[in-house]
């Protein structure tokens, strides 16, 4: 099924989405994108449905062809302090604030959002598989976050973040068990199964 360009009939609707909510390490990253009304791309879809190669191919296309885009990381300390849901919404708000065009409508992936500057909004479950502007935001959030995780992988290669991107894979959890945590780990998350407290 072809994705629709946007949800509303407003001229400058931005789509917004985040990546990295379920990770044990690294930031939660959000993006906001305003696409031209005639934007079309047959590959673009929910970032989770696409290979890393396709996402990296789409990143510069979205950046060049969008009317405006913004990306924002919210880091571990803040996630631990305000919780992951609030951090995800803050990342979306910050990414919207980075747009060079003020949107007049916000289409949000998922079911949780807080009003932003009195701009009307709609939350859409699985919106990144329905609307191109949310799909584009999901691609930018994912690719910017992945590139950041690959960069900090160099500092702590034993966790293999360049592959698992901080998600709770068996390998990542085994590395936490063996080496402990780093400054990039989210201390408020259950980093190990059955863990109630971890020696930090």
Angle at 160 between CA 199 and CA 78, to 5 degrees: 55
Residue 77 inside a domain? The answer is yes
In a domain, 98, yes or no: yes
Position 198 pLDDT exceeds 60: no
Residue 46 lies in a domain: yes
Q: Is residue 177 part of a domain?
A: no
Mean pLDDT, the chain, as a whole number? 94
Per the domain annotation, does 127 fall within a domain? yes
Q: Which domain holds residue 40?
A: 13-152
Domain assignment of residue 171, yes or no: no
CA distances from 142 to 30, 119, 181, 187, 188 (A): 8, 25, 23, 22, 22
Q: What percent of the chain has pLDDT over 70?
A: 96
More reliable by pLDDT, 139 or 191: 139
Query: In sequence order, what are the beta bridge partners of 13?
Result: 105
Angle, helix 132-153 to helix 52-65, in steps of 10 degrees? 120
What CA–CA distances, in Å, run from 18 to 1, 5, 103?
23, 19, 18
- pLDDT at position 1 is 66
Q: Once rounded to an integer, what is the mean pLDDT over residues 187-197?
A: 75
- What is the tally of structural domains in the chain? 1
pLDDT digits (tens, 9 = 90+) for 111-141: 999 999 999 999 999 999 999 999 999 999 9
pTM equals 0.94
Q: How far apart are CA 177 and CA 24, in angstroms?
A: 13
pLDDT surpassing 90 at residue 11 = yes
Residue 176 lies in a domain: no
CATH of the domain at 92: 3.30.420.10
So what's the pLDDT on residue 195? 53
């Amino acid at each position: 099924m072809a994705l629709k360009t946007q949800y509303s009939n407003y001229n400058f609707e931005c789509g917004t989405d985040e990546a990295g909510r379920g990770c044990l390490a690294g930031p939660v990253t959000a993006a906001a994108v305003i696409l031209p009304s005639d934007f079309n791309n047959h590959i673009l879809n929910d970032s989770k449905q696409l290979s890393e190669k396709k996402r990296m191919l789409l990143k510069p296309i979205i950046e060049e062809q969008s009317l405006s885009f913004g990306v924002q990381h919210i880091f571990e300390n803040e996630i631990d302090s305000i919780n992951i849901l609030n951090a995800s919404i803050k990342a979306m708000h910050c990414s919207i604030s980075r747009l060079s065009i003020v949107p007049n409508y916000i289409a949000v992936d998922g079911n949780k959002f807080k009003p932003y500057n009195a701009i009307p909004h709609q939350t859409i479950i699985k919106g990144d598989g329905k609307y191109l502007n949310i799909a584009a935001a999901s691609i930018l959030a994912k690719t910017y976050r992945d590139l950041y995780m690959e960069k900090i992988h160099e500092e702590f290669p034993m966790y293999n973040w360049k592959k698992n991107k901080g998600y709770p894979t068996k390998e990542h959890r085994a590395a936490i068990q063996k080496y402990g945590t780093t400054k990039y780990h989210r201390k408020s998350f259950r980093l190990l199964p059955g863990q109630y407290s971890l020696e930090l």
